[in-house]
Structure 1
Amino acid sequence: MAPEAPQKMKKAKATPKTVADFTILPLTLPALPGLPESHGDAKHYMYIKPNEQNIATADDERSLFIANVPIDASESNIRALFQEQLGGAMVERVEFDGPVPALPLHKRWKGDRPTKEDMGGAEEKRGKKRKRTEDAAVIAEGVVEDADSALPKLWKSEVRRSGSGAVVVFVDKKSARGALKEVQKAVKDGSKTITWKTGDGVGVERYKAHTHLTYPAPSSLQASINAYLSQFNALESLRNKLRKTSRSVPDEDGFVTVTRGGRAGPARIEDAEKKKAELEERRKNNGVKDNFYRFQNREKRKEAEGLLKRRFEDDRRRVDEMRGRRGAVRPET
């Protein structure tokens, strides 16, 4: 049997330089220990274009949108990429998609509101209905953790999802245009190698740090628990105060809110009756009038015209009857 002829190796297709509105920027990833030499020049491709949103903002003209950022991308290495290898454009900030793991949303609980002095008197101008709505939210909401009462972090740094994007905002419009021109020039030339600087906390070191952070110091845990309980006690005192007020004063509709805490300080009957009378008067004044719509005015005019016609016919009929009783009028000769 004759030996088979060796198959010819197919030439690798050239990497496209653009896709739709995106410019494809190849990045050379640094070699990692433990990988074979064939992986020493691994490439990562970022897709860059001017930032265009459905709802325009003031920063659109001085920002670029990047798709498929590396998983270890951070503001520092994105800033270094443009400043050191792409013309030295100055980056103001970088806005990424959601990281992994997702960061918790910390905010102060609603009982920690600014005082009247801080608000500049705006608290007094707020309507009663809005204030009552916020008070009800305070009663219903539990303690929302902040940076002090949250548990210690378990990951030293965050990573990006595969294929996630970022918006790079430059200091001015000129810097954004210059950075895009440098990207297009580097892609068109092809001889310049753009090297990606790996961020901190990737690979084995990331999981070593995670294992260490999984067992925080007792003092750190105790401080977090103390802060949480302090916030809970302060918020519970505020809730009790609001409950007492809600079961002692009727609302704008004349109803008394039923809350826990016993029957101490019930609302007075005369206050509830007064609120009920005010509500009925307001409904009466704000109700739909008879002449509110145009068709109501037309119908009223038609009714008035019909009434006048009927009265005219009645008067003419009575005049005819009177003439018939008196007889025909004969002119004198």
Structure 2
Amino acid sequence: MNSKKTSKPKNSQSNLMINDYKVVPIIVDQEDHSTIHYIYMKKHISKINEEHLPEARTLYIINLPVDTNLKALKSFFKGIGRVSNVYFSGLAGIDVFQIENQRLKSAKLREEIANSQKTDSNDSKKVSKANSKASKTENKEMDIDPVAFGNYLVSGSSAHVVFLEEAELNNVMDTDFKPKLWYGTRNSNEDPEEYKGLQKYLYEYRGLRPPVDMLKKELDDYMAKFEAKQYEKERLFKAQKNVPDEDGFITVTYSKNKADSNVMPVSANAKDSHIASKLAEKEKKTNFSNFYRWQQRENKKDQITTLRKKFEQDKKKIENLKSGRKFKPY
């Protein structure tokens, strides 16, 4: 695990204070508990008015382990303070998957907090279970669930942790933290968010490349639903045909299908002439015979030659008419 480790302070007391920062030791190696990582926390002081970071309820933490997430911080402060929201800084390798995953986690956390505020402790468990069941039934249509990609922080990153009440923040600052195992170091074969190493990367790789049969089933189900919706739209459209409105008027509808169309069909000759004129216009637009200057000069020469020929033909025609007249005035 790429974790930034600092040298242990000279004073061996836990929770030493350094420049208003509370020094908290955590264990980052599940096998070797002598590997200690130190995080530093203090009350957030804002120079500007930040509505999402109220000073009375916000804790600033620095030098977090790279695998820190919402679940890890909630687990760390469990029994001390209820986490309302967490704002991380320095997410490494941010992509669309991680952003969407972070958004879903934040929404889920806010929903859990809202449910806990509305009901008692016993009732809140029932509500959370009911909500989880409802969400499962809503997502039951999706056979291919989105993969929960892990959000890794840059080494030494910080975060602002917002608690529900001011007393909980004070309780955190007054608590004497003993070294305990960090949530992210626990291995679990049930929760994909807790996968580590090769297991994690295999899970993400396979999540981006699901099996062909699963994809085929998902696409078939989607197309079946789409076709059912299209059929329902056509059925409603046909049902509305020739139905008079409140004033007794019938709206004329047009269908591309000739069999279902109530519009008078266009005659073949008119249709052909219309198509021919359209093609002629298109050919005229694409004709570049008069594009260059030399083409224009050649065209003018041809026009003059044609006019001269026509003039000579008309002149001969007039002479023939004169010679063929029976009445000669002189």
**TM band (smaller chain):** 0.3 to 0.5
Tell me the TM-score normalised to structure 1 length.
0.40
Using the size of structure 2 for normalisation, the TM-score is 0.41
